[in-house]
Structure 1
């Protein structure tokens, strides 16, 4: 897959099959669209192109928006690299770009710039100024400019339509299994291991404190999670706490991981932590001793989960 950082830097060598969207999460519904796109493009000797945008349009058009994304842009790229796409175009979204009419977008971008032969889009796709473009307009324009349009219906799990918004809401509510089922992989957090207060060391539960650079990355519900990370090409399990550490009178949110069988120095390194299971909500204990006893119980429960659920 070749990544191109602007529509106008893309130079097509042959006609393209294209899909468009923010693709936050690259969830199972997205994966279905992309799989279909790649297969059809190969079958008809075309190039498969996914056009996405960054920043997220809501970040640009709604300045007060508190939208948080499932993936950072780098995580999105890594997920899309696994799909077999020929090209990923990441176009910088701006207010000026948002003013393109549906007709301008189809004629100037899809037809003239991307050399489109077929557009494959998800259910209820809208585009152009004020989201005025829809499947009916696309179909009309496709006849004028000689390309095909295919709409893929919503991907369902137990009759529930999958969407990025529903996954974000599941993460905020601590419904990690739902989020991971919809994603088709384990939600993860990547960040730099930084110095903490080292209180964990004093009670037998040393932690790696993770700092996330991207402020738009969604942080799941506060609580304790069973997690896994790959460190030096080895898998390590542990438990992660997200929250304000109320027992220790914390005043800001932290993300801390206690790895069960790792004893090396992680300071200054970047790690990617997969969230496997939501263990319990964050709570305040009456003493450090009570907290320590709960952490011991959390570890036992975590190890039981890993033994019974991880192959």
Structure 2
């Protein structure tokens, strides 16, 4: 059973297999690394620990114009890692002070002294510590000195593409290709959101929608368009279709996230629901009036039902 623990509450245990990273998305490449940690821990009868950071280090060091967009919130990451069999998720608050810690000090003072380590699993291209100067060589050198094994995991590729969080963010936000993203992630991309009051226009044409406000403001939102989705409400799954965009038919320009849940009539204002993206149906477009829009929604629903089979 995975547990989310802060540094001050971690128990020192020398027989621990550990890895370090942000693991945004917990994609196929990350999973290869995590599975190695779990397998090594089982073979050593050791504890498996993933050390991660919150907020995302780039949010502090190099956020760029709109901040760093996230594939997974901390809570989502924890749930996925727990499903993969990790014993402990150690979350270190990432701030300016922490960013100044050298890679050697991080391994000595935190990993070796506070967590305990018998084996350190690291990705082929992982850099960490101040100015990202820590590398595989740092881990191997310190392993010899402090008495732990170093294990390097190679990259994970799909076709010609090396899977990375950056590639997946682009696939979702710029292409809207949720199917391709699911291949990289090894699961459907998901979004947790709170149901807000909208203008209830959808009800008048037989397609009531739940207006969603993403749980985390920096979550990656797929490109504008219509998607076939599954929606979890109070632990139950339903089919549905989601529109992301500005509703040009009604002359609006504010981006909204609206999901129509099939065969569903409950009031769910204020509740948090989860949307999983299965496929993209079409781009958002402007219609010449309500009847044309309704005809398109009927056809979108049919297509969604076929895709969700």
Superposed pair shares fold, TM > 0.5: yes
CA distance in 2, matches of 1:71, 1:63: 17
What's the offset of the Cα at 1:63?
4.4
Structure 2 residue aligned with 1:217:
219
Using a 3 Å threshold, how does the CA distance of structure 1 residues 120 and 244 change in structure 2: closer, same or farther? Answer: same
Give the Cα–Cα distance (whole angstroms) in 1 for the partners of residues 24 and 63 of structure 2.
19
**How much does 1:242 deviate?**
0.5
Give CA deviations for 1:28-63 in whole Å, capped at 9, x if unaligned: 211121111111112112111000000000111124
Deviation readout 1:112-155 (Å, 9 max, x if unpaired): 11211111011200011100111122212221111111110011
Gaps of 5+ in 2: none
Q: What residue number does 1:101 align with? A: 102
Q: Match of 2:302, SS?
A: helix
- TM-superposed CA distance for 1:190, in Å, is 0.9
1:228 has 2:230 as partner? yes
User: Which residue of structure 1 lines up, in the alignment, with residue 39 of structure 2?
Assistant: 39
Alignment of 1:194-209 (within 5 A): 194-209=196-211
Shift of 1:237: 0.6
Residue matched to 1:279: 281
The whole-number CA distance in structure 2 between the counterparts of 1:280 and 1:123 is: 38
Provide the rounded CA distance (Å) in 2 between the counterparts of 1:148 and 1:8: 25
Q: Classify the secondary structure of the residue corresponding to 2:118.
A: strand
| Partner SS, residue 26 of structure 1 | coil
Contact 1:14 1:47 in 2 (8 A): no
| Structure 1 residue matching 2:42: 3-state secondary structure | helix
TM-score normalised by L of structure 2: 0.95
The structural deviation recorded for 1:272 is 0.5
**3-state SS of 2:298 partner:** helix
Query: In structure 1, what is the Cα distance between the partners aligned to 2:307 and 2:89?
Result: 38
Question: Whole-Å Cα distance in 1 between the matches of residues 199 and 105 of structure 2?
Answer: 55
- Give the match for residue 8 of structure 1: 8
- Work out which of the residue numbers 277, 296, 299 in structure 1 matches 2:298: 296
The answer to whether the aligner puts 1:268 opposite 2:276 as a matched pair is: no
Q: Which range is displaced more, 150-159 or 89-98?
A: 150-159
Describe the superposition over 1:172-224 as per-residue Cα deviations: whole angstroms up to 9, x where unpaired: 11111110011111111111111100110111111111111311111110100
Question: What does the per-residue CA deviation read over 1:261-289, in whole Å, with 9 as the maximum and x for residues that have no partner?
Answer: 11121222111011111001111222222
2:133 maps to 132
Gaps of 5+ in 1: none
Q: Distance in 1 between matches of 2:5 and 2:102?
A: 22
Superposed counterparts of 1:34-183, under 5 Å = 34-65=34-65, 66-172=67-173, 173-183=175-185
Specify whether residues 106 and 13 from structure 1 end up closer, same or farther in structure 2 by C-alpha distance, changes over 3 A only. Answer: closer
CA contact (8 A) 1:126 1:133 kept: yes
Residue 234 and residue 110 in structure 1: after superposition, are their counterparts in 2 closer, same or farther (change >3 A)? closer
